[in-house]
Amino acid sequence: MSTMSNPEEADTLAPELPAMFDGMKLAAVATILYVVIRCLNLKSRTEPPQVTCQDTVLSRYLLKSCPLLTKEYVPPLLWGKSGHLQTALYGKMGRINTPTPRGVRKFLPMPDGATATFDLFEALREHRTGGDVTMVICPGIGNHSEHKYIRTFVDHSQRQGYRCAVLNHLGALPNLELTAPRLFTYGCTWEFAAMVDSVKQAYPLTLLVVVGFSLGGNVVCKFLGENPSNQNRVICCISVCQGYSALRAQETFLQWDQCRRVYNFILADNMKKLILSHRSSFLTSSSSIGEVELSRLFAATSLMQIDDAIMRKFHGYSSVKDYYEEESCVQYIHNVSVPLLLVNSCDDPLVHPSLLEIPHSLAEKKPNVMFVLTQHGGHMGFFEGAMLLPHPLTWMDKVIVECVDALCWWEEERPACENQQKDLRTSDVSLTPGLRVIESNLIEDIKLNSAFRI
């Protein structure tokens, strides 16, 4: 039995169908625009970095001498306000128009048979202070001197008169075999210490600027805090985008918030490939890693599983909890007494906001610490630009060199500055108008000296 539609009803519906489809199209376009605006965070305002520090002569001098700390950081308009895109573009693209600085590779035998390597890049001009200053740089997880962000930063630093020494994380360089069954770990400072000692011996008059990116930030802060002698001849330390506590960071990596679990999986996959590329080095009689551990590696989907199966065993930790607690700089960073600049981004998808309480609290308690938090930048991105294409130099590259330049001048005038700081501390009044004039004159003297010597 068949039925037929009423011709009059069909005639009535026909004019309504195009209007209905137009409404659906508009709804689809509106939905897409809403998703794009939300994902790209286009409604977010550009703001100057949030700076947390104690009110000292040094902090006032830095804020006056480093405009990038107080002016708006402006990322590319169309995509730069998304921490995910900043992070992804940094990870895949690195930097644009990346230079290729020429350096010399150094090999350092370690007591356990491993061979540390670092690349040394000489300055391309005299430093503005007329002194000898070397940046000792520790890259991020599994990185080395050939990564694009390191090459860009080194080239910029060389052109400003800095010698650069870049650690190549143990096992990270392609086509370079391990000489002992051990890789770099989250907080092992042995290779970085060997590089610093080598630089000090080769250049007895050089002063050091310690710089760490991501995992490298943890390494350098831990290195300086482990022993007061490690801070000898160090002008300052700058750490960018680190997480401070490995245990707390790994706990947040198991959450789906901000796609952290996805990033965890990607980082774990990269670590698996790196470990398996040295498989033959681990399957030796002197190795703590065997077929059982490597078989567990194949099933790992997170960094914590890899650290438990492989990484903690390089240094004999009984549990992954002990490994994280001992290798995190949060246990040592309070011992750092040189000027310490800690830089993070609010929209870093790899560093949970709860971890930023560590540097914030430290900067409130210690006069040598300054915590700089940008609204945008992602993880190690910090691209700048007007609309679409980013600039070759990032905000991160420029702010590090700008702050180091200022601290080098501060080091030149340190005796006078320390006397002034002592007077301020012993004064009953916080800062009287007279002391403000003295302080202002002191800061201007430093800035004028730097202007005349350039």
* Cβ atoms of residues 263 and 88 within 8 Å: no
Q: 348 an active-site residue? A: yes
* Rounded CA separation 331/437 (Å): 39
* Rounded CA separation 309/297 (Å): 7
- Among residues 348, 352, 397, 405, which one is catalytic? 348
Going by C-alpha positions, the residue among 102, 297, 324 that lies closest to residue 218 is: 324
- CA dihedral over 166, 392, 125, 236, signed as positive or negative: negative
Q: Which residues of 203-214 are buried (b: 16+ CB within 10 A; e: fewer)?
A: beebbbbbbbbb
Q: Which 3 state secondary structure label does DSSP give 385? A: coil
* Rounded CA separation 192/21 (Å): 64
Neighbours of 83 (CB within 10 A): 24
* Rounded CA separation 390/95 (Å): 9
* Rounded CA separation 306/265 (Å): 11
* Rounded CA separation 79/93 (Å): 14
The two structure tokens encoding residue 156: 């910029």
Going by C-alpha positions, the residue among 218, 219, 263 that lies closest to residue 243 is: 218
The two structure tokens encoding residue 46: 């550009």
- Among residues 278, 379, 397, 450, which one is catalytic? 379
Backbone conformation region of residue 183, classed left if phi is above 0, alpha if psi is from -120 to 50, else beta: beta
Residue with tokens 């042995």: 190
* Rounded CA separation 85/261 (Å): 16
**47 phi and psi, to 5 degrees?**
-140, 160
Residue with tokens 């065993």: 313
Q: 229 an active-site residue? A: no
* Rounded CA separation 285/163 (Å): 41
Q: 55 an active-site residue? A: no
- Among residues 214, 245, 281, 450, which one is catalytic? 214
Helix 260-276 crosses helix 291-299 at what angle (to 10 degrees)?
150
What's the full length of the chain, in residues? 454
Give the distance between the most distant pair of CA atoms in the chain. 104
Which amino acids are annotated catalytic? Answer: 214, 348, 379
